[in-house]
Amino acid sequence: MAEPLKNLLHPGLVERMGDIIAAAYSGFDRARFVVIAVQDMASLELMQRAQQIRAALVETLPRGFAQAAAILKASLPSAERPGLTGWELLPVNQFIAEKGLDHLDLSLGLLKALTPHFTAEFGIRAFIHKDQGRSLATILDWVNDANHHVRRLASEGTRPRLPWAMRLPALVRDPQPILPILTALIDDPEDYVRRSVANSLNDIAKDHPDLVATFVRDAMIDASPQRRQLLRHASRTLLKKGHGDALANFGFAPAAGISASILIETPSVIFGEHLGFTLTLSNEGASPQRLMIDYAVHHRKANGSLAPKVFKWTSLELGAGESVTMARRHAMRAITTRQYYPGAHRIEILVNGAVLAGGDFELVMS
């Protein structure tokens, strides 16, 4: 069984944090910090643990934010000494977001210094929410930074719907202010940064599908294979939903004259094993068609209703009068992001975003 996420923050990590901060600040009450930070930690989940460590920082660092910020910056790794890194910096993000809101320039500078050691995407969002104009003006300068972690922070931290983080409602309503950031990073040399750009565009597509489809259309002009890959990933939600303009951007059109049938090879699936199915597609039209084939598994929820999750499969060209048969196995096993429930489930085949076939199966918990 996988280690619970909450154990990324643990008493040993708190002890190490205390040692590092004490080395940077002789007045630090390390013992009190540790006591506050680890209290009942075993009963807390990941973000609750982070918040408790953040509360311990609030109680033990100087009240003046400028002095506290200087201590935290001195606690970051350097060529001469180790420092706070990795998950130790999640509660530091939270501390800066809470205590530094009235010190925007100082706080954003500290978060920029922090991000090469652990992402600051959670910390900068409070500043964007409070003063979007000033914050984005600073963040736009980061797109030219030599450090790829800083460049990624510019795109990842401004995502309107960043998972695990506070939502940015103003950018959900109007994402135009972050498009210059995404445009500047669309051909970044680091795949790590480009994937963040794609994820941000995909976020925007959930609320502004036509805007993203148009952005992608314009960006496809003279696009390198690298950029085309980014734009395809950015369009994944639109393609799964069969958005006409998004399909057209990649040479697909609404399927016409395509018939599909599905054979469920495992009508009863034991949890931990595979759902097996075979798909047959036929082009009954008079011309070849490019087809994007996905499938949706409708998982059973606790209340008995079904919720679909779309999975990518393949793309192909099917000539006039041609047929093709394909087999697929889909694992029904434990993952951290889904709770499975026994009973009736459903699978549907999507061709260019349209449901053309489907079937039911039963999930049996072993």
Of the pLDDT bands very low, low, confident and very high (cuts 50, 70, 90), residue 255 is confident
Helix (H, G, I), strand (E, B) or coil at 25: coil
- Domain 258-364 fold is Immunoglobulin-like (2.60.40)
Residues 6 or more apart from 365 whose CB is under 8 A from it?
271, 340, 342
Per-residue pLDDT reduced to its tens digit, 94-147: 999 999 999 999 999 999 999 999 999 999 999 999 999 999 999 999 999 999
Sheet containing strand 274-283, strands side by side: 258-264, 274-283, 323-331
- From residue 55, how far is each of 24, 32, 39, 46, 95 by CA, in Å? 19, 11, 11, 14, 8
- Of 175, 167, 97, which is closest to residue 136 (Cα–Cα)? 175
Q: Do the strands 268-270 and 354-364 form a parallel or antiparallel pair, or are they unpaired?
A: parallel
| Range 318-335 average pLDDT | 95
- Lowest mean pLDDT of 48-57, 99-108, 205-214, 243-252, name the range: 243-252
| Range 55-59 average pLDDT | 98
Tell me the pLDDT of the chain averaged across its residues.
95
Per-residue pLDDT reduced to its tens digit, 192-209: 999 999 999 999 999 999
Q: What pLDDT, on a 0 to 100 scale, did the predictor assign at position 254? A: 82
Phi first, then psi, for residue 319 (nearest 5°) are: -70, 165
Question: pLDDT at residue 1 above 60?
Answer: no
Per-residue pLDDT reduced to its tens digit, 288-316: 999 999 999 999 999 999 999 999 999 99
Percent above pLDDT 90 for the chain: 90
Per-residue pLDDT reduced to its tens digit, 209-241: 999 999 999 999 999 999 999 999 999 999 988
Task: Give the C-alpha separation, 175 to 205, whole Å.
Answer: 10
| Range 57-85 average pLDDT | 96
Q: What pLDDT, on a 0 to 100 scale, did the predictor assign at position 117? A: 96
Neighbours of 132 (CB within 10 A): 17
| Range 155-163 average pLDDT | 94
In the chain, where do the E strands start and end?
A: 258-264, 268-270, 274-283, 289-300, 306-318, 323-331, 343-351, 354-364
Per-residue pLDDT reduced to its tens digit, 3-29: 788 999 999 999 999 999 999 999 999
Task: Give the C-alpha separation, 61 to 324, whole Å.
Answer: 66
Residue 62 burial by CB count (10 A; 0-12/13-18/19+): exposed, middle or buried?
middle
| Range 145-154 average pLDDT | 97
Of the pLDDT bands very low, low, confident and very high (cuts 50, 70, 90), residue 337 is confident
CB of 320 within 8 A of CB of 292? no
Question: pLDDT at residue 2 above 80?
Answer: no
Of the pLDDT bands very low, low, confident and very high (cuts 50, 70, 90), residue 336 is confident
Q: Do the strands 306-318 and 274-283 form a parallel or antiparallel pair, or are they unpaired?
A: unpaired
Task: Give the C-alpha separation, 216 to 311, whole Å.
Answer: 22
CATH number of 5-202: 1.25.10
Q: What pLDDT, on a 0 to 100 scale, did the predictor assign at position 307? A: 94
- Domain range summary for the chain, segments of one domain joined by +: 5-202, 258-364
Q: What pLDDT, on a 0 to 100 scale, did the predictor assign at position 3? A: 77
Q: Give the distance, in angstroms, between the CA of residue 224 and the centroid of all CA atoms in the same chain.
A: 24
Which has more confidence, 2 or 8? 8
Q: What single string gives the DSSP state of each residue in 138-191?
A: HHHHGGG-SSHHHHHHHHHTT-TT-TTS---HHHHH--GGGHHHHHHHTT-S-H
